[in-house]
Each structure stands twice: as structure tokens, then as C-alpha cells.
């Protein structure tokens, strides 16, 4: 509809403007032409008046003067008839000595135009409202050479009707109106057809998008009609692709979660079933199986805790609880908590604090980052191994390095380690205990702080994780 109206206006408006311009232009030209012609006639007449000494003898009754006056009067009549107007002759005393209408003879006529004309210039004035053109021409002796010396005997004041101009304008108007109406009809049709044609590709896009929305189709769409539709469709296809990736990863995630949660359950059930089946099992066996069951329950618990931590990471930045804290103290505290676990594996933890750092962070999330990295460094270490934690800062960021002397990660596995439930060596990792969620949680927490996480690793030599986080969270926003 909008395009249709636009096309219609674009077609019609220039036509209307042109019609007006033509008519106004015609009126101007016709009036000035009429003024020029009449002024010319008046000038010829004024020469006659002068050469016949009309002013000197206009009262004389001598036969000779009377007849020459009659000739001139007849000429004046003719002029006024020809142009449907009125001619008045005004003498030097502003007295009307001849009026072709015979109404004002003997009266005095002082007007701006007449006064101007006595100073030697023609005047003309068009009054479209009352429909007349008024002109004055000085009656002077042009036989005298110098203009300044010329004597102005009187003024010829003429007003003629513009009826004939109006009549021509009327005809012009009527004709152009007819053309315009025809044009509007044609443009209406063209606009109707074109707006339909222009819109069709967009309708196609809408239809295709609706099909995807309704779930009938999941395929990428193609409407190659215009560059514009190609852009829209490309953007939409990109969105569709991204949605598919998200959908796939969600399906994978649900499948993984179910699998991970089921594994300890299956173990527990197998252990319990075998106890029931045995009936009179010795107390030691019960104890041993119960211990296994407890460790499976612990594992289940850890998976659920990690999952909850991960889900919390998906929340928005607004949900971050940003506080200004000492990163050194926080790291110290976490390491103190982890040292007993390290001691069990005979792993030594060294903390190297290069400077005092106070940063704006979410304490819980920051704890998750440090804990997960150091826990991994202990878990995937060798006997009597070493874990080195280093804290440093530049003027914008603080840098946390967790370095271990462990088993290392194969180069080709490095891109996958942050994926949820991903483990490099499934059987070994299971033995070590872990959910495959730790690094995924750590990476999400780092990203929420607008930081980065990098890893370098050499097989059988060790791994180093480097986390860089802005000191000022709000400035980084």
C-alpha cells in the first residue's frame, strides 16, 4: 500500500505542479505582451496628439481643429473598442480632457501612476483580482532632441480588461486537466501493477520465514530476486545456522547430562543388587560395597554441583556481584583449602605473588576459576609433582598463571578442553574423578569478567593456563 501511494504521488505531483507552472507562466507572458502592444499603440496615438496640437486646440471651434480632433477621438474609440478598455487623456493640470467612456471628462485625476508618468516614464499595473491592466503613457514631443527638454503635455491613462487572457487560461486549464486525469488513470494502473511486482519477493521472504517459524521447514531459504532480499535472506540463514548450532549443542548437553547422571546411579544399583543377591554376605563385603556406593553418591553430587555452577554462568552480566577484593588474599585462601588434597598426591603448591592486586570481580566466580584450574593442576599431575601459581598485573589487567608438571594435554585436544563434559582421556579421567565441566565453568566465568584464558601444554612435561582479567570491571564494560 505504501509503495503504491508513493508511486502514485511520484507520478501525479509533477503533473499538477507542471500544470500550475504553465498556467502562471502563460498569464505573466500574456499580460506583459498585452502591455507592450497597447503601450506601443498609445505611443503612436500620443504622437498624433502632439502633431495635431490636440492640447492647444481642444477647445477651439475652428473647423480645421474640430475635424482633426474628431479623427483623433475616433482613433481613441477604436483603441478602446479593440482592447475592451477605457482611454483617458489628462492634461498638465491633472484634468481629464477626454474619456472614451465619457464619465470623467472635466474631472481632476491625481494618482500615483499619473504623477510618475508626468515625470517621463510609462507605468503599468496588473490587478488580477479586479481583472484589469492599467497603463499610463506620457504625451510628449519626441521631435525635440534631448529627453530632458521634452515637454510633457499630458498623460494617456488606459485600463483594459484581461477577459481574453482569462478565457485562454480557462481553455488551457481545461485541456491540461483532461490530460492530467488521463495521466492519473494510467499512473494508477502502473502503480498498482508495479507495487505488486516490487513487493512480491518480500512476500516470498516472509512466507519462507513463516514456514521456518511454524516448524514446517528447517532448510536455508533462497529469494534471489533483489540484492536487498538476498541480504535479508543471508542474514536470516546465518541466524538459522546459529540457532541450529545452539539447538544441537543443547541436545548434546541434555544427552551428556543424562548420561553423566546415570552412570553413578547404574553403579550404585549394580552394587546394591549384588548385595541383595548374595543374601548372607559378610559384613566386610557390605562395608566395602557401601563405601563404593558413598563414593558414587559423592560423584553424583559433584556433577550436580558443577552443573548448577555452569547454569549460573549463563546468566546475564547484570547478575554479577562485583566487589573490589584482594586477589592475592583470595588465591591464598583457595590454595590453603586445596593443599590437603595436593598433599594426598604428594604434590607441592607454590604461590608466587609478584605484586598486590585489588580488582573488581565476582568473588564466587573468581573462586571457581582459581579452584578449577588448581584442582586440575593437582589432579593431572605426577607423583611428587609441582604446581606453581603466579599472580602479576599490568596497568589494566591482572594475570593468573597456573603451571603444573603433569601429564600434559595433546596439542590436537587443546581446542576441545573447554567443552562441557569433554575429557581428554575418558578412562583415566574417570579414575582421577572429574565431571568434564571444570574448564567449561572456568572459561565462562573468565568471559563474564571480560577476560581471556589461554593454555600451553607439553605432553609429559606439564600444562600452563594463563587467565587475564581487567582490574576495573566497569571500565571494561
Q: What are phi and psi of 312, to 5 degrees?
A: -65, -30
Q: State yes or no: residue 376 binds ligand ADP (CB under 6 A).
A: yes
Whether the Cβ atoms of residue 366 and residue 400 lie closer than 8 Å to each other: no
Whether the Cβ atoms of residue 99 and residue 122 lie closer than 8 Å to each other: no
For the bound state, the minimum distance from the C-beta of residue 462 to ligand ADP, rounded and expressed in Å, comes to 7
Instruction: Give 184 or 399: the residue with its C-beta nearer to ligand ADP.
Output: 399
Q: State yes or no: residue 435 binds ligand ADP (CB under 6 A).
A: yes
Q: State yes or no: residue 438 binds ligand ADP (CB under 6 A).
A: yes
Cβ-proximal residues to 327 (8 Å cutoff; 6+ apart), any chain: 357, 358, 359, 361, 366, 391, 398, 400
Q: State yes or no: residue 385 binds ligand ADP (CB under 6 A).
A: no
Q: State yes or no: residue 423 binds ligand ADP (CB under 6 A).
A: yes
Instruction: Compose the 30-69 pattern: x for residues touching ligand ADP by CB under 6 A, - for all others.
Output: ----------------------------------------
Q: Contacting ligand ADP (CB under 6 A), which of 123, 159, 331, 463?
A: 463
Q: Contacting ligand ADP (CB under 6 A), which of 217, 222, 256, 429?
A: 429
Q: State yes or no: residue 404 binds ligand ADP (CB under 6 A).
A: yes
For the bound state, the minimum distance from the C-beta of residue 463 to ligand ADP, rounded and expressed in Å, comes to 4
How do strand 152-161 and strand 123-127 relate by DSSP bridges? Answer: unpaired
Q: Contacting ligand ADP (CB under 6 A), which of 126, 153, 289, 380?
A: 380
Q: State yes or no: residue 443 binds ligand ADP (CB under 6 A).
A: no
DSSP string across 322-371: EEEEEHHHHHHHHHHHHHHHHHHTT-EEEEEE-S--EEEEEHHHHHHHHH
How do strand 348-353 and strand 386-393 relate by DSSP bridges? Answer: parallel
Instruction: Give 361 or 369: the residue with its C-beta nearer to ligand ADP.
Output: 369
Residues that bind ligand ADP (rule: CB under 6 A) add up to a total of 23
Q: What is the widest separation between alpha-carbon atoms in the chain?
A: 170
SS3 399: strand
Long-range residue pairs from 42-47, CB within 8 A, at least 24 positions apart, any chain: 42/79, 42/87, 42/135, 42/137, 42/156, 42/158, 43/137, 45/72, 45/75, 45/76, 45/79, 45/156, 46/137, 46/138, 46/139, 46/140, 46/156, 47/142
Q: State yes or no: residue 409 binds ligand ADP (CB under 6 A).
A: yes
Q: State yes or no: residue 406 binds ligand ADP (CB under 6 A).
A: yes
Q: State yes or no: residue 434 binds ligand ADP (CB under 6 A).
A: yes
For the bound state, the minimum distance from the C-beta of residue 400 to ligand ADP, rounded and expressed in Å, comes to 14
Instruction: Give 357 or 409: the residue with its C-beta nearer to ligand ADP.
Output: 409
In the complex, which residues of this chain contact ligand ADP (CB under 6 A)? 372, 376-377, 380, 404, 406-409, 417, 422-425, 429, 434-440, 463
Amino acid at each position: 500500500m505504501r509503495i503504491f501511494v508513493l508511486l502514485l504521488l511520484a507520478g501525479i505531483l509533477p503533473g499538477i505542479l507542471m500544470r500550475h507552472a504553465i498556467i502562471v507562466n502563460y498569464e505573466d507572458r500574456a499580460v506583459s505582451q498585452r502591455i507592450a502592444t497597447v503601450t506601443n499603440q498609445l505611443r503612436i496615438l500620443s504622437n498624433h496628439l502632439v502633431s495635431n496640437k490636440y492640447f492647444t486646440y481642444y477647445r477651439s471651434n475652428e473647423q480645421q481643429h474640430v475635424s482633426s480632433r474628431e479623427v483623433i477621438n475616433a482613433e481613441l474609440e477604436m483603441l478602446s473598442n479593440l482592447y475592451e478598455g477605457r482611454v483617458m487623456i489628462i492634461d498638465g493640470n491633472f484634468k481629464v480632457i477626454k474619456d472614451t467612456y465619457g464619465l470623467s471628462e472635466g474631472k481632476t485625476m491625481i494618482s500615483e501612476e499619473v504623477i510618475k508618468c508626468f515625470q517621463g516614464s510609462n507605468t503599468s499595473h496588473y490587478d488580477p483580482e479586479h481583472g484589469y491592466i492599467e497603463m499610463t503613457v506620457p504625451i510628449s514631443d519626441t521631435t525635440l532632441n534631448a529627453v530632458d527638454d521634452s515637454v510633457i503635455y499630458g498623460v494617456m491613462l488606459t485600463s483594459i480588461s484581461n477577459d481574453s487572457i482569462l478565457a485562454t487560461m480557462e481553455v488551457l486549464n481545461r485541456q491540461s486537466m483532461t490530460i492530467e486525469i488521463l495521466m492519473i488513470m494510467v499512473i494508477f494502473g502502473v502503480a498498482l501493477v508495479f507495487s505488486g511486482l516490487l513487493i512480491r519477493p518480500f512476500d516470498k521472504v516472509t512466507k519462507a520465514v513463516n514456514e521456518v517459524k511454524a516448524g514446517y521447514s528447517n532448510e536455508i531459504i533462497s529469494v534471489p530476486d533483489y540484492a536487498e532480499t538476498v541480504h535479508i535472506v543471508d542474514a536470516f540463514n546465518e541466524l538459522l545456522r546459529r540457532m541450529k548450532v545452539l539447538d544441537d549443542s543443547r541436545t548434546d548437553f541434555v544427552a551428556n547430562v543424562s548420561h553423566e547422571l546415570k552412570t553413578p546411579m547404574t553403579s550404585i544399583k549394580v552394587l546394591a543388587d549384588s548385595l541383595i543377591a548374595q543374601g548372607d554376605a559378610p559384613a566386610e563385603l557390605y562395608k566395602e560395597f557401601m563405601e563404593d556406593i558413598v563414593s558414587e553418591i559423592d560423584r553424583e553430587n559433584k556433577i550436580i554441583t558443577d552443573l548448577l555452577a555452569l547454569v549460573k554462568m549463563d546468566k546475564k552480566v547484570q547478575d554479577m556481584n562485583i566487589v573490589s577484593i584482594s586477589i592475592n588474599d583470595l588465591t591464598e585462601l583457595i590454595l590453603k583449602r586445596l593443599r590437603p588434597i595436593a598433599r594426598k598426591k604428594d604434590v607441592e603448591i607454590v604461590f608466587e605473588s609478584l605484586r598486590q592486586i585489588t580488582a573488581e570481580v565476582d568473588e564466587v566466580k573468581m573462586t571457581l576459576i582459581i579452584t578449577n584450574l588448581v584442582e586440575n593442576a593437582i589432579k593431572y599431575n605426577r607423583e611428587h609433582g609441582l604446581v606453581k601459581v603466579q599472580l602479576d598485573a599490568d596497568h589494566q589487567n591482572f594475570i593468573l598463571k597456573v603451571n603444573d608438571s603433569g601429564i600434559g594435554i595433546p596439542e590436537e585436544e587443546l581446542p576441545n578442553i573447554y567443552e562441557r563434559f569433554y575429557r581428554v582421556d575418558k578412562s583415566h579421567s574417570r579414575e582421577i574423578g572429574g565431571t568434564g565441566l571444570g574448564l567449561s565453568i572456568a572459561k565462562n566465568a573468565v568471559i563474564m569478567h571480560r577476560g581471556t584464558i589461554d593454555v600451553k601444554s607439553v605432553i609429559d612435561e606439564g600444562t600452563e593456563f594463563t587467565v587475564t582479567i581487567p582490574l576495573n570491571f566497569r571500565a571494561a564494560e
